[in-house]
Amino acid sequence: MRPEPRLIEVRRNVLKQNDVVARALRDRFHRARVFVVSLVSSPGSGKTAFLEKVLTVLGAGHCVAALVGDLATENDARRLARSQAPVKQITTGTLCHLEAAMVQTALEGWDLSRLDFLFIENVGNLVCPSSYDLGEDLRLVLMSVTEGEDKPLKYPTIFNSADAAIITKLDLASAVEFSWETAYRNIQAVRPGMQIFRLSAKTGDGMKECLDFLQIRQTEMRQPATP
């Protein structure tokens, strides 16, 4: 059955090549002391709505910027640019995920040392982005209450590759009879100890906790390593 050995071999090479570029990116981000956060989720889970709020609030006191990946359209970049933060769209065509080389190309001409935070919004896809390191410091996986509590069990790889989870569209939880207990149990079954946030980008509920978390992590990253 598929995939046959030759395709596996080629995929391994692509991943290896991606890892080399991702490592170079990570070094560059660390030298520039910019904290890099990537966002992964299904299509329509609310990555852009979350990022709109994050850029606006964090942008008031920090230098923030974003890259947004989509197969087609510049819609998300236009939406996010309203926050006044520098935003660049990466259009992938038919490719279902971002790769480190695309991030590298998109950053050409940017002075990263002027930034405190860089956000990278991946293509909406709960499978393929999990395999591609983008050099980020933190990977956030979002899932909306409307998708159902079973998604961590059905898409374990992406939950495993992420550092924290945000359950979005909190305002719709009652309407869809969302069980927080089941969702938490499913996330913990796949990734024990994973930190989980609840958020409604629409009402603002849970936004402060997410922002505090990002700022604490950014501050920790900027501190010199203890001897």
- Binding residues for its own copies (CB under 8 A): 1-4, 6-7, 10, 14, 17-18, 42-44, 70-73, 75, 94-96, 99, 101-102, 105, 123-128, 131, 143-144, 146-148, 150-151, 153-157, 169, 171-172, 175-176
DSSP state of 63: -
> Least distance to its own copies from the beta carbon of 24, Å?
15
Cα separation, 206 vs 208, in Å, equals: 6
> Least distance to its own copies from the beta carbon of 55, Å?
19
- Which is closer to its own copies, CB of 137 or CB of 149? 149
> Least distance to its own copies from the beta carbon of 68, Å?
11
Which two structure tokens, joined as six digits, stand for 18?
Answer: 């991606």
- Which is closer to its own copies, CB of 144 or CB of 218? 144
Cα–Cα separations (whole angstroms), residue 124 to 65, 71, 130: 19, 9, 11
127-142 burial by CB neighbour count: b if 16+ within 10 A, else e?
ebbbebbbbbbbbbbb
- Which is closer to its own copies, CB of 4 or CB of 227? 4
Which two structure tokens, joined as six digits, stand for 46?
Answer: 């609310």
- Which is closer to its own copies, CB of 32 or CB of 71? 71
Cα separation, 185 vs 182, in Å, equals: 5
> Least distance to its own copies from the beta carbon of 208, Å?
23
What is the number of other CB atoms lying within 10 angstroms of the CB of residue 163?
Answer: 16
